[in-house]
Amino acid sequence: MATSQFSASCSRTRPFPHYESRSRLIDFTCRSSKSKLFFTRSLNRKQSRRSFSVKSVSSEPTQKLKDPIADEEASTTLSSLTTDAASVASSIKYHAEFTPSFSPERLDLPKAYFATAQSVRDSLIINWNATYDYYEKLNVKQAYYLSMEFLQGRALLNAVGNLELRGAYAEALNKLGHKLEEIASQEPDAALGNGGLGRLASCFLDSLATLNYPAWGYGLRYRYGLFKQLITKDGQEEIAEDWLESGNPWEIVRNDVSYPVKFYGKVVTGSDGIRHWIGGEDIKAVAHDVPIPGYQTKTTINLRLWSTKAPSEDFDLNAFNSGEHTKAYEALGNAEKICYVLYPGDESIEGKVLRLKQQYTLCSASLQDIIARFERRSGASVNWEEFPEKVAVQMNDTHPTLCIPELMRILIDLKGLSWKDAWNITQRTVAYTNHTVLPEALEKWSFELMQKLLPRHIEIIQMIDEEVIGTIISEYRTADYDLLEKKLKEMRILENVDYPEAYADILVKPKEIEPVEEVEIENVENVESLDEEDKLGEESPDEKEQVLPEPVPEPPKLVRMANLCVVGGHAVNGVAEIHSEIVKEEVFNSFYQLWPEKFQNKTNGVTPRRWIRFCNPDLSEIITKWIGTEEWVLDTEKLAGLRKFADNEDLHSQWRAAKRNNKLKVVSLIKERTGYSVSPDALFDVQVKRIHEYKRQLLNILGIVYRYKKMKEMTASERKEMFVPRVCIFGGKAFATYVQAKRIVKFITDVGATINHDPEIGDLLKVIFVPDYNVSVAELLIPASELSQHISTAGMEASGTSNMKFSMNGCILIGTLDGANVEIREEVGEDNFFLFGAKAHEIADLRKERAEGKFVPDPRFEEVKEFVRSGVFGPYNYDEMIGSLEGNEGYGRADYFLVGKDFPSYLECQDKVDEAYRDQKKWTRMSILNTAGSYKFSSDRTIHEYAKDIWNIQPLELP
């Protein structure tokens, strides 16, 4: 169990703020004279530009300060490292010598990176410990963000940027013979996420720290990530991610913070009447903490990641010594593999079990930790009714849904609360963010699997389901049974599971009595003889060939996690205006009718620190110069000030120069990663995101193929006149078992191999697939992009966040009216967004039209499919991929994502792109207005809304 929130790398029993004087802090913290000198200097650092004060903290509606801090000890130790480059260099050398992970011979790049990171971490630890000591003493309400993904990216440049130490570290490393950028490039991306879900979570943590909100993130520490993507002649190949191979200098393992997590076993009723979960498989979840610094503030919050292991006594020494090595290690291996891989393949039962174990580990360990903190802060008297006034738990999608039955289990079975009280506390504590309308993301788990793995939780879920049934019956009564049946079918937690006994009789549909047709018999005497004659004419059972009907398989019993989230929490939010409307009107309409007050919209946002200030310094300097302040980094509404300069030729010239400089970096990246050479003078057209049919990378590449075909039919002069030179860049991972997505990756690379080696085309068209797309690649691609594709089938993308990053960096979007595209287009202006495609409200009718065989494809669509089938892109058979776009019905067919329907309008829109790009003055104006209009899409704004409307927490700045 946890005894303290943080422990620094130096030995001590309590956090820094408990020390009464500066000299005691320095003496106790540092064991060498060199380190002591360094920390003495660090405490003399100049004050940060932001002022610090304790703001009023409230909770439902006001949050009482248990023990306000007014004495000087809280502020004595909140100093960060000095900005003196000489002291920074001394710190780096100290860590290279005394906290090494490498041999001592030389300070080469990997060793220099580790020493630099550990030097920065010194500063973070001081503020990190002080932040949570302060929150602990004030007993503030805290938000906890639970997510299966945190796509952090590299930490070094972000940390020194947020601490405003970039200049000092650049100068210090230069003195040591290295460049800061070269050192930063040694850091592997933390393999803790895959796509927008994880990147959003990381942006949120940055904003929470920057805005001084008391909050933590909770996730799992994946040893091998999702996978490292290789692009070969066969398409995508997956190998294990090696991000932890040399260690992680940013994390601190908390060996004193571990919790038991149980699987399997059985549930029995004790003599006290309480249900006890006994037996089964026990593992330990161990905390690894990563500091998250805010920008221009001392607040440093925590990302706590869980790793899993078994107790050492589970190692069967006798079996090992008997030569049964696999058996000896079995329990340890079963525990450790829980945190091996993000989203292990779930085609097998073993894969499903592992995924469910991951989700429960995250929920159980995190809630035990949260409850331990609540009890410690409460002191001798714990009032569980106050739990929702001190704790807010946000479930990022359905992966952490088991928080609901787990919190109920702990409160009822371990803390002795009644069902009614526990249910009330749980509903007031937990909230749910929905990220998708796609069926595969609205998780459903096998009832039998969950019953086996988590027997106590399935009991609790059944009781919650019974609560839901009771609520629905009281709301809709039984007069209109068809309506009641419809509501129960849509809203129950359990699918295809019998009604509980308490409602079994009430929910039996009344049978309609059919009238019996009266037959008038004229001659009663003949009835018996007629029956006998009929019997004589019948075949005997032996003579009859008996045909038994095929048995109808029973539908699987399922637990609907999204329904459990809606029922078990007090708030449900979508992540863009159009998505939130779909959530209310379609996905959860029955719930919305019953509880409209639960449903909210919280349009996603991205941190302007990482996604423009740090990754695009050239453009950042221009923005600051023209709007006259750097305050836009914290207040993005000031970006709107660029609008008045949108036609200024001097700004245009500087803007284009910054873009070209960024494009040159990507030219180098492409050459290094793929071997292809591209021209920086071409239009950089980018689509980077998870590879999925609904995101329609297939529409993009088919458009490129059509463009290539038309080019080949022209003379060289006609091609040059007709087409603007383009570099079409793709990036993203296809899930390892998603066959169609992997076919699309293979197709893109085959098209690129053909076009890029065609001497007739030259620099007029290039197709690039950047392997192993991640945050660090995005930080190069996004500032260099000029056109970005967000072309999902309307109504299927919840929000998107990359569209916001591209727009913020002056990139113009081509897309459908889907997700946050709708709001981006409103803010940047219709003339500065390339729109095409069907609207969300039209999709259902278009699919129906297809099913009825009424769809007539555009001739250009048929032409491009035949061109692909001709074999021009190599011998690979693309019949299955093209076949998915054909037919009117059937699994994997009938063009479910409407590529064929939107293809003609997409081509016509691309012609408008070419026309606009030829007029560089017009294009630059559009680019400036995109940056100016992106002010609304800061994650700071989103976090303020969550804090106010869902979590009811307020910012708390350190003194």
> How would you write 678-691 as a 3-class SS string?
CCCCCEEEEEECCC
Query: Of the listed 254, 288, 435, 613, which one is catalytic?
Result: 435
Confidence of residue 200 (pLDDT cuts 50, 70, 90): very high
Does residue 18 have a pLDDT over 90?
A: no
pLDDT of residue 40: 40
pLDDT of residue 1: 42
pLDDT of residue 527: 45
Indicate the length of the chain as a whole number: 959
Residue 247 forms part of a structural domain: no
Does residue 15 have a pLDDT over 60?
A: no
Comparing C-alpha atoms, which of 896, 917, 773, 770 is closest to residue 834? 917
pLDDT of residue 426: 98
pLDDT tens-digit profile of 612-651?
999 999 999 999 999 999 999 999 999 999 999 999 999 9
Distance CA 102, CA 104 (A): 6
Find the range with the poorest average confidence among 84-88, 179-183, 512-516, 553-557: 512-516
With both helix axes pointing from N to C terminus, report the angle between 899-918 and 859-869 in degrees, rounded to the nearest 10: 100
pLDDT of residue 535: 45
pLDDT of residue 438: 76
Cα-flanking dihedrals φ and ψ of residue 198, to 5°?
-75, -35
Cα-flanking dihedrals φ and ψ of residue 936, to 5°?
-75, -15
Query: Of the listed 221, 695, 733, 865, which one is catalytic?
Result: 695
Does residue 823 have a pLDDT over 50?
A: yes
Mean pLDDT in residue range 547-570: 91
| Cβ partners under 8 Å of residue 178, min gap 6 | 107, 109, 112
Task: From 139, 155, 188, give the residue that closes a domain.
Answer: 188
In the chain, the largest separation of any two C-alpha atoms, in whole Å, equals: 123
Contacts 24+ apart (CB under 8 A), 594-598: 594/471, 594/472, 594/475, 594/491, 595/566, 598/566, 598/569, 598/570, 598/571, 598/572
Cα-flanking dihedrals φ and ψ of residue 574, to 5°?
-85, 175
Q: Are 422 and 408 in contact (CB under 8 A)?
A: yes
Told to judge if 695 belongs to the known catalytic residues of this protein, a careful annotator would answer yes
pLDDT of residue 313: 86
> Would you tell me how many other CB atoms lie within 10 Å of the CB of residue 372?
15
pLDDT of residue 510: 65
Query: Of the listed 373, 598, 613, 690, which one is catalytic?
Result: 690
Does residue 509 have a pLDDT over 50?
A: yes
Confidence of residue 511 (pLDDT cuts 50, 70, 90): low
pLDDT tens-digit profile of 916-953?
999 999 999 999 999 999 999 999 999 999 999 999 99
Query: Of the listed 228, 805, 850, 925, which one is catalytic?
Result: 805
Confidence of residue 320 (pLDDT cuts 50, 70, 90): confident
Residue 90 forms part of a structural domain: yes
388: three-class secondary structure by DSSP: helix
| Percent of the chain scoring above 70 in pLDDT | 87
877: domain CATH number is 3.40.50.2000
Residue 559 forms part of a structural domain: no
pLDDT of residue 504: 79
Comparing C-alpha atoms, which of 621, 531, 575 is closest to residue 196? 575
Told to judge if 689 belongs to the known catalytic residues of this protein, a careful annotator would answer yes
Mean pLDDT in residue range 474-488: 88
Which one is predicted more confidently, 607 or 331? 607
With both helix axes pointing from N to C terminus, report the angle between 697-712 and 859-869 in degrees, rounded to the nearest 10: 80
Told to judge if 178 belongs to the known catalytic residues of this protein, a careful annotator would answer no
Which one is predicted more confidently, 76 or 388? 388
Query: Of the listed 689, 726, 901, 936, which one is catalytic?
Result: 689
Residue 666 forms part of a structural domain: yes
Residue 436 forms part of a structural domain: no
pLDDT of residue 100: 74
Q: How far is CA 59 from the centre of its chain?
A: 28
Confidence of residue 13 (pLDDT cuts 50, 70, 90): very low
Find the range with the poorest average confidence among 70-84, 126-140, 351-365: 70-84
Distance CA 781, CA 766 (A): 16
Mean pLDDT in residue range 428-453: 92
Which helix or strand (DSSP H or E) is residue 284 part of?
strand 281-293
Contacts 24+ apart (CB under 8 A), 644-651: 645/928, 646/925, 646/928, 646/929, 646/932, 647/925, 651/622, 651/626, 651/928
Residue 93 forms part of a structural domain: yes
What tokens appear for 279 in the block? 């037996």
Residue 653 identity: S
Residue 302 forms part of a structural domain: no
Confidence of residue 192 (pLDDT cuts 50, 70, 90): very high
How many domains would you assign to the chain?
2
pLDDT of residue 74: 39
Query: Of the listed 308, 603, 801, 924, which one is catalytic?
Result: 801
Told to judge if 921 belongs to the known catalytic residues of this protein, a careful annotator would answer no
Residue 121 forms part of a structural domain: yes
pLDDT of residue 329: 87
Find the range with the poorest average confidence among 489-493, 512-516, 722-726: 512-516
Burial 165-186 (b: 16+ CB within 10 A, else e): bbebbbbbbeebebebeebbeb
Q: How far is CA 308 from the centre of its chain?
A: 22
What tokens appear for 494 in the block? 């359990």
pLDDT tens-digit profile of 652-678?
999 999 999 999 999 999 999 999 999
Q: From start to end of 135-273, where are the E strands?
A: 142-146, 215-220, 228-232, 235-239, 252-263, 266-269
Told to judge if 223 belongs to the known catalytic residues of this protein, a careful annotator would answer no
Q: Are 121 and 250 in contact (CB under 8 A)?
A: yes
Provide the residue range defining the domain that includes 180.
85-129+163-188
Told to judge if 83 belongs to the known catalytic residues of this protein, a careful annotator would answer no
**Global pTM?**
0.89
Q: Are 727 and 683 in contact (CB under 8 A)?
A: yes
pLDDT of residue 543: 52
Distance CA 825, CA 836 (A): 12
pLDDT of residue 513: 57
Confidence of residue 534 (pLDDT cuts 50, 70, 90): very low
pLDDT tens-digit profile of 56-90?
333 334 444 444 443 444 343 444 455 689 999 99
Mean pLDDT in residue range 287-307: 97
Which one is predicted more confidently, 413 or 105? 413
| Percent of the chain scoring above 90 in pLDDT | 78
> Would you tell me how many other CB atoms lie within 10 Å of the CB of residue 143?
24
Whether a cis peptide bond, with omega within 30° of 0, leads into 61 is yes
pLDDT of residue 24: 37
